[in-house]
Amino acid sequence: MPKLIDSYLLEMEIGQPQTAGEIAVFPLKSSRNPGPEYITLAEALASSQLTVTEVSHGGSVPELKAVNQGGKAVLMLDGEELVGAKQNRVLNTTIWVAPGTSLVIPVSCVERNRWSGLHHPVEKSDNVMVHSMRLKKVQSVNKNLEKKAGFKSDQSEVWRELDRACYLLNVDSPTAAMRDIYEGRKTELENYLKAFRPVPGQQGLLVFWAGKPLGCDFISREEALASLFQKLLKSYLLEVIMVSQDRGTEDQEGKSQKVNGPARQKPTVPGIKKARNFLSKAAQAEEKRYKATGSGQACRYCHQDLAGASLEIDNFIPHFVFLATEKGSQFRNYRNRENFSGLRDRKAFLSRSGDDLE
């Protein structure tokens, strides 16, 4: 039986890419029904329509409580950061919070060394989980759903990935917070972002680096994508910075250099055919369906070259994400080479920070 998402993926209009060095970003547009009006998480938090708190006075690391007190639905994206409460978290799945509803939402901690006794208000964030962390989280949630364990991630794996990012990017974060990683590389990210803007009608983005796909995000409403564009794109850009920082890049004279903004080597710009191939692979992925947190059906996807997730509500899809795996990614050799042994590299990182693991 054809999957609803196939009609999105296989009929997607793919525009000409915007480029910066080795990075190419294809705009995506769909003729499918965009669904009813909704607002983004950041907009809902800024207007106080949505409140997010701990589930109880004592709190629970993998859960938060979201209450929509307004008249519009709120779309909360897989991987979006929630800053505040007892520690910063990210969403484990995309959630549609209908007007007037209260939900317990599944999250992962992205600030290991803070568990505050104070109830800090949850504020909007400009960050989505870094590409490789988000991929591993999507995969671990997929596995837990298959085991009937709900939308839980592998929290230890999330922390290991945070430690690795801090180490590779030379970011000193006292609380081991993802937010500090983005802040530490703010200048490079801003340099890249100057090259990219959403085009009229754009609803999604498909990102390549050095001719290989990294992944794509699709948002059904143009105005929502415009609001989320830089936030989503940064999650891919920071991955490129992290990998490039570790291995260096070769300029045209053959000298090793560290990347600081758009790379200076001759760019490898993929054509629309390559972009179409990635979306076709996504359509070939096996789909498994689960009752979503909040409204709709949570659809999860597995393929040897990618992993993904989407939310279906009343025959429309407000969001989907597909991320290239190690087999299908430009980062394959890097990930195989840098197979960190969590403890060893955490010790190395902490010793540089002046802290003691024991």
Task: Please classify residue 173 by burial: count the beta carbons closer than 10 Å to its beta carbon, then call 0-12 exposed, 13-18 middle and 19+ buried.
Answer: buried
- Give the model's pLDDT for residue 267: 72
- Residue 82 contacts residue 63 (beta carbons within 8 Å): no
Is 78 domain-assigned?
no
Task: Please classify residue 15 by burial: count the beta carbons closer than 10 Å to its beta carbon, then call 0-12 exposed, 13-18 middle and 19+ buried.
Answer: middle
Bridge-based pairing state of the strands 212-219 and 306-313: unpaired
For 31, 98, 219, 296, 314, the CA distances from 35, given in Å and listed in that order, are: 12, 13, 11, 13, 8
The total number of structural domains that make up the chain: 1
- Give the model's pLDDT for residue 120: 81
Is 106 domain-assigned?
no
Specify the amino acid at residue 109. Answer: C
The H or E element that residue 318 is part of is: strand 316-324
- Residue 216 contacts residue 278 (beta carbons within 8 Å): yes
Quote the longest CA-to-CA distance of the chain. 61
Give the residue among 6, 14, 70 at the shortest CA–CA distance from 312.
6
Is 297 domain-assigned?
yes
- Give the model's pLDDT for residue 261: 56
Domain that holds residue 243: 4-37+130-353
Q: What is the pLDDT along the chain (358 residues), one digit of tens a residue?
A: 789 999 999 999 999 999 999 999 999 999 999 999 999 999 999 999 999 999 998 989 999 999 999 999 999 999 999 999 999 999 999 999 999 999 999 999 999 999 986 678 899 999 999 999 999 999 999 999 999 999 999 999 999 999 999 999 999 999 999 999 999 999 999 999 999 999 999 999 999 999 999 999 999 999 999 999 999 999 999 999 998 876 654 333 233 344 455 545 567 789 999 999 999 999 999 999 999 999 999 999 999 999 999 999 999 999 999 999 975 555 544 444 444 444 444 444 444 444 443 3
Is 269 domain-assigned?
yes
Is 116 domain-assigned?
no
- Give the model's pLDDT for residue 333: 46
DSSP state of 251: -
Reduced to 3 states, what is the DSSP secondary structure of residue 266?
coil
Q: Give the start-end residues of each E strand in 137-237.
A: 204-209, 212-219
Query: With b meaning 16 or more CB within 10 Å and e meaning fewer, what string describes 94-118?
Result: bbbbeeeeebebbbbbbbbeeeeee
- Give the model's pLDDT for residue 149: 97
DSSP state of 212: E
Is 97 domain-assigned?
no
Q: What CA–CA distance (Å, rounded) separates 302 from 7?
A: 18
Q: What is the pTM of this model?
A: 0.88
172: tokens are 């000193």
Is 242 domain-assigned?
yes
Task: Please classify residue 126 by burial: count the beta carbons closer than 10 Å to its beta carbon, then call 0-12 exposed, 13-18 middle and 19+ buried.
Answer: middle
CA of residue 60 relative to chain centroid, distance: 22
197: tokens are 């803007």
Q: What CA–CA distance (Å, rounded) separates 107 from 151?
A: 8
Is 121 domain-assigned?
no
- Residue with the two structure tokens 């053959």: 254
Q: What CA–CA distance (Å, rounded) separates 121 from 117?
A: 12
